[in-house]
Structure 1
Amino acid sequence: MSDAISLVIPTLNAESEIVALLEKLCSQTRHIDEIVVVDSSSDDGTAEKAAAFAAKHDQVSVHSIDRKDFRHGGTRDLALREWTTGDFVLFMTQDAVPANDRYVASILAPFEDEAVAVSSGRQLPKADARCFERLVRGFNYPEESFVRGKDDLPIYGIKTFFISDVCSAYRRSAYLECGGFAKELMMSEDMYMAAKLVVDGYHVAYAADAQVYHSHNLTPKQQYSRNFAIGKFLEENKDILMGTSEIGDGKKLATHVAGELLRSGHIGELCAFGADCTARFLGNRAGRKAARKDMTEGR
């Protein structure tokens, strides 16, 4: 593939991570023509360290925005339109670490199929991931690659739109044709974009060989907040998601992980996972309720 490649990394207080990530990206077997760091007015030395790295690597540039202006959708859209020129635009988060030097080549491989408009990779648990988080990652990010489109909706439902901007790549022409990310979205801009692309007849790819280390040991409070935002997004965007539901997949995840923990005798982790699932469920329901209230009141 000879097309130009751009990559965007939004950052906030990533001083301890950014240089190592940039070094990994610059040593990939598939050269990245542009690496764009978009820093949201970090309090630490993120922007300075990225700028010092950029001074020695021509393909790296650093841009700063006010923290209050950051939006998961709008900031990525701004970066793609204003600061990249690549035929394919990759996105990563500051805490995702490529597992090897073939990450970029692997995430681009599905684009050999002209119908594929977006590709995302496999997230492996980091070394500090607790037991149930490892099982969750394994369930959500399987070993097998796949490509899905509108015809797969009856079988896979909401999983048809499976994608994560933790490690993703977009075909620029398809992205612009479909209007890009919703600029005000603070959560799930990736799923929203995947749904728009599927509606327009494009396909969504999961490249299991494109691997990054990425995981979080969230507290129940943090999990509640995260799933409040997800639930609100799902309720507000039911139409673009074509009425699909996350409930069935959530039950499958809970059953699988709980079963594995029980079989392996990790009773403490099973209890912790139960608290995690409760926080997910309650947050999701509360977010949906808040969205319905906002819509009723015309907000």
Structure 2
Amino acid sequence: MSAHEDVGELVPEGTFLRPDDSVRRFAGGTVLVGGSPLWLLKLGAQGARVFGRWVNGGEALRRNAGEQRLARRLLDAGLLHPESPRGRFTLADLTLVTPVKDNASGVHRLLEATDELSERIIVDDGSVEPLPEAALRHEKPLGPAAARNAGWQRVRTELIAFVDSDVVPETGWLDAILPLFSDPEVAAVAPRIRSRPGDAPLERYEQDRSALDLGSRPAPVRPMSRVSYVPGAALVVRRSALAELGGFDTRLRFGEDVDLVWRLAASGHTVRYAPESVVWHDPRAGLLEWMRQRFEYGTSAASLSARHPGLLCCAKVSRWSALSWGLLASGRPVTALATAAVTTALFPRALRGRGIPATEALRLAGVGHLGAGRILAEATRRTWWPPALVAALFGGRARAVTSAVLLPCLIESAGKGPSWALLRLLDDLSYGAGVWAGCLKERTIGPLRPQFTDDSLCRGSGRRLPASRSIGSKAGRTCDRSRSSQRYERVGAR
């Protein structure tokens, strides 16, 4: 976990805490499983009662140090999400910063949609026709990172809303964002970015699978989790945190927003995704322009992998799941099924004594194996497709495997028409081509390598459930005296 394991800033009094929809409770509410990555938490009796008051009774967080520390840890694990009814920040504490190049109409539309803000800075990043609304202008395009840096360095308010010129916020989009900054640990909050509706095939596809739309579930943002990044097209950031890191990395033409979020997380700050807040984004107008966008997104993988070793990979699965699916792909279905069945059966043994029923342990193991198959299929289709295509041209078994890899796309496109299915494949192929191009340029294979999690869980040793600091069993205490009876454990990336 983060520095909150020691002391950390307390969660503000009056915060309402809502459970993530992944949370499951066992052993009378003393054992929690959920979050992303998946965590197992064992609470004391009093801690369980406090948790119940929050999620069942709708009780707000009290001014109690023990409860606030418990809330902090559960928030960090992604088991709870905050709802702050009030906050000290208002619209007067926020400045809009917009980088723009050759999009005068978008700027006019954005200014109309944000007229409630008194402080707005438009940075013209080398437009052919200079924009009269711009407070700053680069004579030559320097990229979005440099434009954003030039803008925020003029800001005097504590909060900065970076919003691109092809984005239109909904009315009241800041209502769900500003209160979250009452928590001093929160350095950035991102709204949900949805694609503007339309009738063209590409517009319909983008409404379903926009690369900027991260879904309807709130989450803490961190690498290797359900929401591992947030785009800079719409992002509210605390100025002090931005200054601490020196702003965006201007060496990155793409992925500069992901890099910033990961550096914030590495520095101990909290970044949150708040889908209750919605902004609308213009999709690319033409197919080639759209494919180029996806390609460019892919090129950033190599640079991000080099700057953040171990935090970016094409697939992360357990060794036993990878072995099971590898055996199936090599034409050994009986051995593959036996391997998956044995490792699934051993999972309850690894969790013995931790309050998880055998049925739940079996469910987690089964879901883990199926999820690994989906991850490996996506990696093959999205990142490994060049060698997979070569193999399919020269081997019948490889062709069968490739066809199986495409099956999830075809199922997903059921009822949406052939154009949707084609765009789904082009999406993956364009991104993957960008990944390979970036790897060649950076001379690295980091984004092409999978990561395998520890397989000791399948042997029943439980070493994939490392103990950390205890979760408080008394409402007024940080932790119980007996660390052996209460554990804060990670269930691994199955």
Alignment TM-score, normalising by the size of structure 2: 0.49
The separation in 2 between residues aligned to 1:73 and 1:282, in whole angstroms, is 24
- Deviation string, structure 1 residues 97-152 (Cα, Å, up to 9, x no partner): 112x2112333232222211111111112122522221113994211222245xxx
- Deviation string, structure 1 residues 64-120 (Cα, Å, up to 9, x no partner): 22133x222222112111x21110111011010112x21123332322222111111
Give the equivalent residue in structure 2 for 1:47: 131
Find out whether 1:65 has 2:217 as its counterpart.
no
| Alpha-carbon contact 1:122-1:212 (below 8 Å) kept | yes
Matches within 5 A, 1:42-191: 42-44=127-129, 47-48=131-132, 50=133, 62-68=135-141, 70-81=142-153, 83-99=154-170, 101-128=171-198, 130-137=203-210, 140-149=213-222, 153=223, 156=225, 159-160=227-228, 162-191=229-258
Give the equivalent residue in structure 2 for 1:14: 103
| Alpha-carbon contact 1:13-1:43 (below 8 Å) kept | yes
Return the letter of the residue paired with 1:142.
Answer: G
The structural deviation recorded for 1:24 is: 0.9
The separation in 2 between residues aligned to 1:141 and 1:256, in whole angstroms, is 20
The separation in 2 between residues aligned to 1:225 and 1:139, in whole angstroms, is 15
The separation in 1 between residues aligned to 2:416 and 2:236, in whole angstroms, is 39
Give the equivalent residue in structure 2 for 1:291: 442
| Alpha-carbon contact 1:123-1:213 (below 8 Å) kept | yes
State the number of aligned residues: 267
Give the equivalent residue in structure 2 for 1:35: 120
The separation in 1 between residues aligned to 2:112 and 2:253, in whole angstroms, is 29
Cα distance 1:93–1:39, how it changes in 2: closer, same or farther (>3 A)?
Answer: same
Find out whether 1:269 has 2:420 as its counterpart.
yes
Give the equivalent residue in structure 2 for 1:296: none
The separation in 1 between residues aligned to 2:191 and 2:411, in whole angstroms, is 26
Cα distance 1:246–1:227, how it changes in 2: closer, same or farther (>3 A)?
Answer: farther
Percent of residue pairs bearing the same amino acid type: 19
Give the equivalent residue in structure 2 for 1:244: 311
Structure with more of its chain in helix, by fraction: 1
SS of 1:184's partner is coil
Give the equivalent residue in structure 2 for 1:211: 278
Q: Tell me, which stretches of 5 or more residues in structure 1 are unaligned?
A: 51-60, 294-299
| Alpha-carbon contact 1:38-1:63 (below 8 Å) kept | yes
Give the equivalent residue in structure 1 for 2:480: none
The separation in 1 between residues aligned to 2:167 and 2:291, in whole angstroms, is 22
The separation in 1 between residues aligned to 2:109 and 2:182, in whole angstroms, is 30
Cα distance 1:171–1:139, how it changes in 2: closer, same or farther (>3 A)?
Answer: closer
SS of 1:237's partner is helix
The separation in 1 between residues aligned to 2:429 and 2:271, in whole angstroms, is 30
| Alpha-carbon contact 2:197-2:207 (below 8 Å) kept | no
The structural deviation recorded for 1:223 is: 4.7
The structural deviation recorded for 1:287 is: 1.7
| Alpha-carbon contact 1:228-1:288 (below 8 Å) kept | no
Alignment TM-score, normalising by the size of structure 1: 0.78
The separation in 2 between residues aligned to 1:139 and 1:19, in whole angstroms, is 22
Return the letter of the residue paired with 2:203.
Answer: R
| Alpha-carbon contact 1:11-1:37 (below 8 Å) kept | yes
The structural deviation recorded for 1:236 is: 2.3
| Alpha-carbon contact 1:103-1:211 (below 8 Å) kept | yes
SS of 1:105's partner is coil
The separation in 1 between residues aligned to 2:237 and 2:194, in whole angstroms, is 21
- Deviation string, structure 1 residues 187-232 (Cα, Å, up to 9, x no partner): 1111111111111111111111221111424656435543444344
Q: Tell me, which stretches of 5 or more residues in structure 2 are unaligned?
A: 1-87, 316-374, 383-406, 445-494
